[in-house]
Amino acid sequence: MSRFVARRLISMLFVMFAVSVITFLIFNVIPNSDPAVRMAGKQPTEVQIEAIRQEWGFDENIFVQYGTTMEKLFTGDMVSYFTQLDVVNEIWKGLPRTLSLAIGAAVIWMLFGVGLGLFTAMRAGKVSDRLLTVLALVGISMPVFWIGALMNHYLGFELSQALGFELFPNGGYVEFAESPLEWLHHLILPWTALSILFIGLYSRVLRGNILDTINEDYVRTARAKGLSERQVLLKHVLRNSMIPIVTLWGLDFAVVIGGGAILTETVFNLQGVGQYAADAIGQLDQPPILAVTMFGAFFVVFFNTIVDVVYAALDPRIRLESGDTA
Amino acid sequence: MAPDDVLTASAGDLLGAPGHQTEGDPDDAAVVGGSPWRLAGRRLRRDRGALAFGVLFLLLVGACLAAPLWANEVAHTTVSENHLTDTIEQDGETVNVVGFDGVPIGPTWQGEFFLGADQNGRDNMVRLLYGGRNSLLIGVVAALITTLLGVLIGVLAGYFRGWTDAVLSRAMDILWAFPVILLGIALGTSLALGGLQLGPLSISGDSLAIPIFVIAIVYVPYLARPIRGQVLAMREKEFVEAARAQGMGSWRIMLGEILPNVSSTLLVFFPLLVANAILLEAALSFLGAGVRPPNPSWGTMISEGVDRIVTAPYLAIVPGTMLVLTVLALNVFGDGIRDALDPRAKVRAKQP
């Protein structure tokens, strides 16, 4: 096991290094223009550009440039040239908001996704199954920023106007420490909007898995020994059909925190890490985009490694498959 | 040795596959022995839902292709023409296209401004159709490039194994580590200012080629990985061994023996790739890292519409509905193809 963990960690560091090189290349080498000009944002002065060129060492060779970029990223001395604020600091400020959004939404989409998947699988072929399956497809086909904007407008704004009180708020975020109830109140719509896509996906995957599993020998055995249909379904079928769903859950959760929440945050004005990057795009403000991209990808790699290790601890076959005999 | 014996084998035991709707269908028994493609075609023809949505997609594409026709013959305007100070006749009254408070006219349900105007007094219907052209163009071309690169990488890695595989697979792992939307934003914003210089090819920053290129690159690992897995398994099969024994070279085996056998996977993936490419275009344009205004696309239109959702909600609703219909049609049709080719296969492409 320890050898497996060690190997996964080394591989993680390698991927992180490669990710940082790629991100560096995307921002500083691939585009066909002066990196200092791009770094300076929309309306830079000549003096500013020259200062940035010096500071980032854009006249040095490429390896030195890469070193400077990474150093700035980790020493926290990367500054947005648009707001003059420290980038890493701003990311830390937005992180609790992004985490609140991602964790709540992940719980909701898992519960509803599994519920819907189980329900439709039990009724496979019936009218209710067909209807819900189509509904799941519609959910997968809707862009989150579009449905989110409509929810925010009609439920958060128009409905409040009609009712005279705010059943749902019109965007914004309240710290948990300030008021847990208001925190919840402000996150209900964003959680729902972000969950729709995943509920659709998970219910479809689970429905398919259950229908595949239901014909396995051990399910027939369970039935033959006289278990009730409910017991067969919950103890034997569901438990085995859930394995891929849990894997997906881990991966999707990481991706949502690592950048997937950007659209939801922007639409509902949650001011999280994603919205920080989104605002920077409008200004062509490069340092925040660079930092969020790099940290986002780092987080995904890191989280995937954890998921792998947990899996290996739970299932010895995975360790053995990758040649670890210890 | 039939090159498509893999498909035959899977198609064979699919008849009466568990959980599939056509289970026990007497028609199926009659077609055993047909070629797998014909079998799949027959199954697809019987899938009314998939066919209906396939037709819907073609209708949407047709409507967008007819954009100049609508603009010239019905709306009498162009995609970029402003009508800020113009008036039109509606129900016998003269109405401003854009009111004094800056609120544009809503849907008139007549030739001019059928779906209303936007904040610049541009015809919303005309922009919807032209925007659809851009969205569909980006979606289809990006999906084609993704398929090309994905197949190339997947087949080379799976067939040659060893160092080729190690290098290509690692590269895919690294690309895969980036959240789709972040990689799209990073590439989109960094290329927006100066454009791209690929050898003698120079692409300017506001060209549609930038979002196409960005979206195509982002999805490559999602195709290359499953293809590689298939090829790895396939190269041990007898028909490849036989081809090798006959003295066929690696390239001929890959083109003549391996490629036809991954084509069913490609057929299943392609509509889903187009759907996801269209969604990613919209997301990137919404954030300002995709199509550059004033060039319309469904993404930029939703983005502009969301900014004015309080006074003119139809500006966001209309392009979003078109987008959802298109993506839904592609998803249902893709499902139909998958069920027809292999009811048990599970395909999952990522949405941003």
- Whether residue B183 contacts residue B260, with contact meaning beta carbons closer than 8 Å, is answered with no
- Say how many C-beta atoms besides its own lie within 10 A of residue B186's C-beta: 29
Taking the CA atoms of B154, B156, B160 and B164 in sequence, report the sign of the dihedral they define.
negative
Nearest CA in chain A to B195: A32
Nearest CA in chain A to B280: A143
Q: What is the pLDDT of residue B15?
A: 34
Strands B93-96 and B87-90: antiparallel
Query: Which parts of B116-169 are beta strand (E)?
Result: none
Q: What is the pLDDT of residue B92?
A: 73
CA A149, B143, A253: angle at the middle one, nearest 5? 50
Percent of chain B, pLDDT > 70? 87
Share in percent of chain A as helix, strand, coil (round to 5): 80, 0, 20
Counting one residue from A and one from B, how many pairs have CB atoms under 8 Å apart?
164
Whole-angstrom CA distances from B29 to A212, A240, B317 are: 22, 32, 47
CA distance B95 to B88: 5
CA distance A313 to A324: 12
Instruction: Over range B68-86, report the average pLDDT.
Output: 81
For residue A241, give every residue at least 6 positions away whose Cβ sits within 8 Å of its Cβ, in sequence order, or none: A206, A209, A210, A212, A213
pLDDT digits over B275-305, tens only?
A: 999 999 999 999 988 898 888 999 999 999 9
User: What is the DSSP code string of A33-89?
Assistant: S-HHHHHH-SS--HHHHHHHHHHHTTTS-HHHHHHHHHHHHHHT--B-TTT--BHHH
CA distance A27 to B314: 37
Whole-angstrom CA distances from B15 to A76, A280, B50 are: 61, 54, 19
Measured between beta carbons, the chain A residues lying within 8 angstroms of B287 are 262-263, 266, 278, 281
Which residue's structure tokens are 């999280």? Answer: A272
Measured between beta carbons, the chain A residues lying within 8 angstroms of B170 are 18
Contact B317 A150 (CB under 8 A): yes
Measured between beta carbons, the chain A residues lying within 8 angstroms of B346 are 205, 208
CA distance A135 to A278: 30
Q: Please state the three-class secondary structure of A142-211 as a single string.
A: CCHHHHHHHHHHHHHHHHHHHHCCCCCCCCCCCCCCCCHHHHHHHHHHHHHHHHHHHHHHHHHHHHHHHH
pLDDT digits over B191-248, tens only?
A: 877 777 776 777 877 788 889 999 999 999 999 999 999 998 888 888 888 988 888 8
Q: How far is the alpha carbon of B183 from chain A, nearest alpha carbon, in Å?
A: 7
CA distance B317 to A245: 33
Q: For residue B6, is pLDDT > 50?
A: no
Exposure string (b/e) for B270-292, b if CB count within 10 Å is 16 or more? bbbbbbbbbbbbbbbbbbbbbbb
Measured between beta carbons, the chain B residues lying within 8 angstroms of A262 are 181-182, 185, 287
Of the candidates B131, B188, B179, B184, the one whose C-alpha atom is nearest the C-alpha of residue B302 is B131
Contact B190 A30 (CB under 8 A): yes
Question: Is B204 strand, coil or helix?
Answer: coil
Q: For residue B4, is pLDDT > 50?
A: no
The alpha carbon of B134 is separated from its chain's Cα centroid by a whole number of angstroms, namely 12
CA atoms within a 13 Å half-sphere pointing along the CA-CB vector of B140: 9
Contact A32 B313 (CB under 8 A): no
Of the candidates B108, B127, B109, B117, the one whose C-alpha atom is nearest the C-alpha of residue B86 is B117
Instruction: Say which of B193, B306, B328 has its CB closest to residue A149.
Output: B306
Of the candidates B133, B96, B131, the one whose C-alpha atom is nearest the C-alpha of residue B116 is B96
- Whether residue B229 contacts residue B153, with contact meaning beta carbons closer than 8 Å, is answered with no
- Whether residue B186 contacts residue A283, with contact meaning beta carbons closer than 8 Å, is answered with no
Q: What is the pLDDT of residue A322?
A: 56
Q: For residue B196, list its beta bridge partners.
A: A31, B203
Any chain A CB within 8 A of the CB of B198? no
Instruction: Say which of B185, B191, B288 has its CB closest to residue A31.
Output: B191
A180 residue type, one letter: P
Instruction: Over range B132-136, report the average pLDDT.
Output: 95
If residue B30 lies in a helix (H) or strand (E), which one and from where to where? helix B26-31
CA distance A144 to B203: 31
The DSSP output letter for B77 is S
**Peptide linkage before B221 cis (omega within 30 of 0):** no
CA distance B248 to B161: 18
Contact B182 A263 (CB under 8 A): no
If residue B15 lies in a helix (H) or strand (E), which one and from where to where? none
- Say how many C-beta atoms besides its own lie within 10 A of residue B245's C-beta: 9
Contact A260 B283 (CB under 8 A): no
| Between B216 and B349, residue with greater pLDDT | B216
pLDDT along chain A (326 residues), means of 10: 86 90 84 74 78 80 86 84 85 93 95 94 86 91 94 91 86 87 92 95 90 83 85 83 85 87 92 91 84 90 87 72 48
Of the candidates B240, B233, B268, the one whose C-alpha atom is nearest the C-alpha of residue B256 is B240
- Whether residue B287 contacts residue A278, with contact meaning beta carbons closer than 8 Å, is answered with yes
Question: Is A102 strand, coil or helix?
Answer: helix
Rg (CA), chain A: 24
Contact A281 B282 (CB under 8 A): no
Instruction: Say which of B310, B324, B348 has its CB closest to residue A141.
Output: B324
The alpha carbon of A129 is separated from its chain's Cα centroid by a whole number of angstroms, namely 29
CA atoms within a 13 Å half-sphere pointing along the CA-CB vector of A192: 15
Q: What is the pLDDT of residue A211?
A: 85
Strands B196-198 and B93-96: unpaired
- Whether residue B309 contacts residue A153, with contact meaning beta carbons closer than 8 Å, is answered with yes
Any chain B CB within 8 A of the CB of A102? no
pLDDT digits over B297-338, tens only?
A: 999 999 999 998 888 889 999 999 999 999 999 999 988 888
- Whether residue A98 contacts residue A272, with contact meaning beta carbons closer than 8 Å, is answered with yes
The DSSP output letter for B154 is H
- Say how many C-beta atoms besides its own lie within 10 A of residue B40's C-beta: 22
Q: What is the pLDDT of residue B8?
A: 33
User: B341: exposed, middle or buried (C-beta count within 10 Å: 0-12, 13-18, 19+)?
Assistant: buried
Contact A266 B287 (CB under 8 A): yes
- Whether residue B81 contacts residue B72, with contact meaning beta carbons closer than 8 Å, is answered with no
Instruction: Please provide the size of chain A in residues.
Output: 326
Compute the CA torsion angle A281, A284, A287, A291 (nearest 10 deg). Answer: 20
Nearest CA in chain B to A253: B179
Instruction: Over range B260-282, report the average pLDDT.
Output: 92
Nearest CA in chain B to A122: B19
Give residue B134's pLDDT band: very low, low, confident or very high (50, 70, 90).
very high
CA distance A38 to B194: 9
Q: Please state the three-class secondary structure of B283-342 as a single string.
A: HHHHHCCCCCCCCCCHHHHHHHHHHCCCCCCHHHHHHHHHHHHHHHHHHHHHHHHHHHHC
Nearest CA in chain B to A194: B352
Instruction: Please provide the size of chain B in residues.
Output: 352
CA distance B234 to B164: 17
ipTM: 0.89
Q: How far apart are the first and last CA of chain A?
A: 7
Any chain B CB within 8 A of the CB of A171? no
